[in-house]
Chains A and B, each alone.
Chain A
Amino acid sequence: MILLSPEDWAATQGKFIALWTDADYAYALYQPQQLVAVALQDGTYPALPHPGANWYQRLAHDLNGHTAQGATDTRPAIEHHRGPDFAAPWPDFPAPDVEGVHQIAVGPIHAGIIEPGHFRFSLLGEEVLKLEARLGYAHKGTLALMRGKSPRLAARYAARISGDATVAHSLAFAQAAESALDTTPPARAVYLRAIMAELERLANHTSDIGAIAADAGFAFLDARFALAREYICAAAATAFGHRLMMDIIIPGGVAGDIEPAGTEAIRDALAALESELPSLTRVFEDYASLQDRLIGTGIISPELAAAYHPGGYTGRASGQPHDARIEPGYPPYLDHPIHTPVQTEGDVAARLRIRLEEIPESIHLIRHWLHNLPTDALAYQLPPTTGMGLGVAESFRGPVWHWLHIENGAITTAFIADASALHWPLLEHAATTGIIADFPLINKSINASYSGVDL
């Protein structure tokens, strides 16, 4: 960590990842892993000029009451100011000053089986002029619950930041705790963690690709991809005892070994997916009516992506090649060159192609690691010492960062940055490139986590 003067803090260049505060400092994280801090002055710090910093500055105000001096966006992030009867006045959602503009309010309860959030569309006919997302509905006070607990105990909260990325969050949390307490996990645990992380990537990619196809009217593709996801989850349950592999990764290692029958179950699920993937991919390439919905829809231009440099498929489809498995990198990926697909179209189709391309890569990695599992221990004890640590893991939707400050074995402060924090503002932009009927497709193609940012 580098302590900066307020002037240097505000002038820091680089690819911004996250910002947070504790009792004394404001911290900012830049790619690949550069942590800078500035001392708080009467609970304030200079606002950062990066567009991605907006959400974090609003969040720091809601969580800790710290104000970013000079920030232009001061809307609440997760604070709804609810009274004793839980009612809250609606905030003002200003519409663009155009003749004939009208608004559509959607949520917090959506039509499908998804998380809660409010979308306010300003429209001219069908054309979306502006989208404003109001989040915070799933706020559970997770960061506060982590304080005062040992890393092993707090790992249960890390696993429930975002259920679809439970493995990635558990992994980032474990790596942050291990870095803070100077512990290296056993090699077998490192490999098992990576196998679980890639299985999670496959489960989400298959299920989301199918869901996008379903939104474009191709129920057949959804049925087949949902089946692939089901086989992967069933194999995960056989191998690790839990379909989502929740709570298996713990600081210091893993909580259990892979079952002998699990290895075979995973190989079967991978083989089934691998054999059907080419024919399913061809459907995306062959059907004009499907391409008509996906190509040119929900564009995030490379210029816009360069300003936010989001991670995951959202970034990779718009020319941002960043992958936390490569940079800053963590074991065991450091020993295996990973091919990260990058495109520049930035539309729904490009995000979908990136995800289709990532599937064979994950299958290959899992097979390799299953074949070469080291045979040392599963977990080491963490010493009850003091330290500060950063941990990162590339979830299916992008990098998730965990930052921990541990004193005598108990967490004093924690912060968690899900990749979604940089995806939400891009979704607001992407929605304005199309008509309202395309929004479900655009939303699913980015699939930002609500719980992951509401914390």
Chain B
Amino acid sequence: MVWKTALHHLLTNPPAPAVADSAQVQDLRARLKAASVIKLGRSLAIRHVPAGSCNGCELELRATQNLIHDLTQYGLSFTPSPRHADILLITGVAARNMVEAARQARAAMPDPAWVVALGDCAIDGGVFKSSPAVQGGADAIMPVDLVIPGCPPTPQQIVQSLLTLLEANSLEPMAKPRRVRSRGL
């Protein structure tokens, strides 16, 4: 019975218009995003590349892994290999001496991949931008998908910004960050 009805429906109804309506576009977007969620499993691996930082951003990046900020609870983890990475996270200016290595790391990543510039230096060179030893920010050497400003950004800002990137690429909104209450040392 169902097959008959379906066949009848397909043969008698006019074909869909060539220009999709907005509701359909929305639907497609949702399906695409769902696909990316399936593909990425909402568990993104980050390869951090220091391209010429003062090591301030590294300190706060490491702090996102402590018991208070606990980035891993959202499915975001750091990986030593670009081959396993979905996100290339660049800190520091694009120092001339690091351009080659940073580009090699990006080239070693499988697509789809995102590039995140973390900190004021990675955005546009920060205080170092007029130096001849510096090419500028990360976007001077490769396309950047997300910037996280700050000198350095706080762990809270880093976690929030990375979740935004995740949200923009997933069907369902992320679960609210779990509140971690400190109980002293």
Contacts from A to B (Cβ < 8 Å): 78, 80, 82, 85-88, 108-109, 111-116, 136-142, 144-145, 156-157, 160-164, 166, 207, 223-224, 226-231, 233, 237, 243-244, 246, 272-273, 275-276, 449-451
Contact = CB atoms under 8 A, between A and B. Distances in A.
B130 A86 contact: no
Contacts of B182: 227, 231
Nearest to A111: B80
Interface in B87-132: 92-93, 95-103, 105, 126-128, 130-132
B58 A115 contact: yes
B27 to A, nearest CB: 40
A2 to B, nearest CB: 33
B134 interface: yes
A137 B59 contact: no
B59 A164 contact: yes
Residue of B66, B98, B126 with highest tally of chain A CB at under 10 A: B66
Contact of B55 (A137, A227, A231, A451): A451
A140 B128 contact: yes
B60 interface: yes
B70 to A, nearest CB: 10
Contacts of A162: 54-55
A118 to B, nearest CB: 9
Nearest to A211: B62
Contacts, number: 152
Contacts of A78: 97
A88 B97 CA distance: 9
Top 6 A-B pairs, shortest CB-CB distance: A163-B56, A141-B133, A141-B131, A111-B80, A272-B185, A86-B99
Contact of B128 (A87, A141, A228): A141
A421 to B, nearest CB: 16
A31 B60 CA distance: 34
Contacts of B98: 108, 116, 137-138
Given A113-B58, A116-B50, A140-B95, A160 B127 contact: yes
Contacts of A246: 56, 151
B100 A86 contact: yes
Nearest to B101: A108
Contacts of A223: 66-67
A166 B56 contact: yes
A163 B55 CA distance: 5
Contacts of B184: 272, 275
Interface residues on B, range: 35 or more
Nearest to A268: B184
Contacts of A138: 50, 52-53, 92, 95, 97-98
A140 B53 CA distance: 9
B54 A226 contact: no
B152 interface: yes
Contacts of B126: 160
Contact of B185 (A85, A116, A228): A228
Interface in B14-49: 48-49
B154 interface: yes
A450 B58 CA distance: 12
Nearest to B134: A140
A252 B185 CA distance: 37
B96 A244 contact: no
Contacts of A449: 55
A47 B80 CA distance: 41
Nearest to B65: A226
Nearest to A160: B54
Residue of A141, A166, A233, A449 with highest tally of chain B CB at under 10 A: A141
A329 to B, nearest CB: 27
B58 A224 contact: no
Contacts of A231: 182, 185
Nearest to B55: A163
Nearest to B130: A145
Contacts of A141: 128, 131-134
Nearest to B133: A141
A262 B154 CA distance: 18
A227 B58 contact: no
B146 interface: no
Nearest to B66: A226
A108 B52 CA distance: 11
A140 B127 CA distance: 10
Contacts of A160: 54, 56, 126-128
Nearest to B69: A230
B174 interface: no
Contacts of A115: 50, 53, 55, 58
A109 B56 contact: no
Contacts of B58: 113-115, 163
A113 B61 contact: yes
A113 B89 CA distance: 10
Given A82-B99, A140-B93, 10 more contacts: A88-B97, A109-B49, A115-B55, A116-B52, A162-B55, A163-B57, A223-B66, A244-B60, A275-B185, A451-B55
A450 B55 contact: yes
25 contacts: A86-B100, A86-B103, A88-B97, A109-B102, A112-B80, A114-B55, A115-B55, A116-B98, A138-B52, A138-B53, A139-B96, A140-B133, A141-B132, A157-B128, A160-B56, A163-B54, A163-B56, A163-B57, A163-B152, A164-B56, A226-B65, A230-B63, A237-B154, A244-B152, A451-B54
